[in-house]
């Protein structure tokens, strides 16, 4: 049985918000089986629990932002990716501001904090979502697709009209290769001219070379360079895992991304759950049963696109 997980003890993390530049303290607390990941703003008179779920996404322009009844928690994706990568199912997260701390712009800090708090297996089996037939979302020439697979895999490609990035492709197999080693350390990236524009609009106030790769027309401005040669596409995978985590369960399928972004990722999860024939939700009592469920899918299923 694959059991649900939470953390062993409460832990607090301080950091600044990428856009607000404001210091924020976030506390993660163990939660009971079946809770899921729930955010709570403790700086407001009115406390509204916000479930980390795809249908709570209210803004995807610069990050993935959750909201309920006018209360917002933004930039959840790097933390959600760390939770998904480590298999944390249940957690209460309260914070004293509207934005999750950006830390170093990757999921590495969140992974370290969660491992420090310890991962604890709980009494009940995890639920997983097995993709039963292909689903696709498209925005312009960007596409995101989920196909049946016996395990969770991601294949991503990006194309930027920039000599240092240009075309990059990366495949990540969740079972065979480590999220922590291969994906979690990849930082967010931005172009210098975009950063200058965002700053002029009062955004990216907390952004710096400490929490993003910044690229000008010819070079990478970070003195230490890149962490991976293809860090850009790996970060796109990290973002997509964080957005897919908002499905609320682990997804068994092959995620295929081409020029993806938060809006597209969210649209794909909506598409997946829009038709019950697209997926099967099963308790991970027997890993073999998950694999068999995924493998029993007819090889040729008409595309939903």
SS3 266: helix
Q: Which stretch, 126-134, 182-190, 196-204, 255-263, contacts Zn ion (CB under 5 A)?
A: 182-190
Identify whether the C-beta of residue 189 lies closer than 8 Å to the C-beta of residue 213. yes
User: What is the footprint of Zn ion within residues 208-237 (CB under 5 A)?
Assistant: none
Closest approach, Cβ 40 to Zn ion, in A, equals 23
Note whether 289 and 148 are within 8 A (CB): no
Q: Which is nearer to Zn ion, 239 or 249 (CB)?
A: 239
Residue 60 beta carbon to Zn ion: minimum distance, rounded to whole angstroms: 12
Q: Give the separation between CA 190 and CA 292, rounded to whole angstroms.
A: 42
Q: According to the binding rule CB under 5 A, does residue 239 interact with Zn ion? A: yes
Q: For residue 89, which of 179, 2, 4 has the smallest C-alpha distance?
A: 4
> By CB under 5 A, how many residues form the interface with Zn ion?
2
Q: Closest Cα to residue 93, out of 20, 4, 30, 47?
A: 30
d(CA 8, CA 127): 21
Q: Is 302 exposed, middle or buried (0-12, 13-18, 19+ CB in 10 A)?
A: exposed
Task: Write down the least CB distance from residue 188 to Zn ion, Å.
Answer: 4
Candidate ranges 93-101, 133-141, 187-195, 267-275; the one touching Zn ion (CB under 5 A): 187-195
Minimal distance in Å, beta carbon 57 to Zn ion? 14
SS3 category, 287: helix
Q: Can 262 be counted among the known catalytic residues?
A: yes
User: Site map for Zn ion, 140-179, x if CB under 5 A?
Assistant: ----------------------------------------
3-state secondary structure of 78: helix
Nearer to Zn ion, 103 or 128 (CB): 103
Catalytic sites, residue numbers = 262
Residues found near Zn ion in the complex (CB under 5 A): 188, 239
């Amino acid at each position: 049985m694959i059991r649900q997980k939470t953390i062993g003890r409460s832990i607090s993390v301080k950091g600044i918000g990428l856009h607000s530049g404001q210091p924020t303290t976030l506390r993660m607390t163990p939660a009971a089986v079946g809770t899921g990941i729930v955010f709570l703003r403790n700086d407001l008179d009115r406390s509204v629990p916000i479930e980390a779920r795809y249908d709570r996404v209210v803004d995807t322009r610069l990050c993935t932002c959750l909201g309920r009844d006018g209360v917002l928690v933004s930039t959840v994706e790097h933390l959600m990716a760390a939770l998904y990568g480590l298999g944390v199912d249940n957690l209460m997260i309260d914070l004293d501001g509207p934005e999750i701390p950006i830390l170093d712009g990757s999921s590495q800090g969140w992974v370290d904090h969660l491992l420090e708090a310890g991962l604890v297996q709980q009494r009940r089996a995890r639920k997983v979502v097995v993709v039963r037939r292909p689903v696709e979302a498209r925005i312009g020439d960007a596409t995101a697709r989920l196909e049946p697979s016996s395990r969770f895999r991601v294949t991503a490609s990006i194309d930027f009209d920039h000599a240092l990035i240009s075309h990059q492709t990366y495949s990540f197999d969740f079972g065979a290769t480590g999220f922590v080693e291969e994906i979690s350390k990849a930082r967010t990236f931005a172009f210098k001219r975009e950063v200058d524009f965002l700053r002029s609009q009062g955004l990216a106030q907390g952004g710096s070379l400490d929490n993003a790769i910044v690229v000008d027309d010819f070079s990478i401005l970070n003195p230490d360079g890149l962490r991976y040669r293809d860090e850009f596409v790996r970060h796109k995978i990290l973002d997509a895992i964080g957005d897919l985590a908002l499905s609320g369960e682990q997804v068994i399928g092959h995620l295929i991304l081409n020029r993806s972004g938060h809006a597209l990722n969210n649209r794909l999860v909506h598409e997946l759950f829009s038709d019950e024939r697209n997926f099967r939700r099963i308790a991970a009592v027997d890993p073999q049963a998950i694999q068999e469920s995924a493998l029993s899918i007819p090889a040729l299923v008409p595309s939903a696109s």
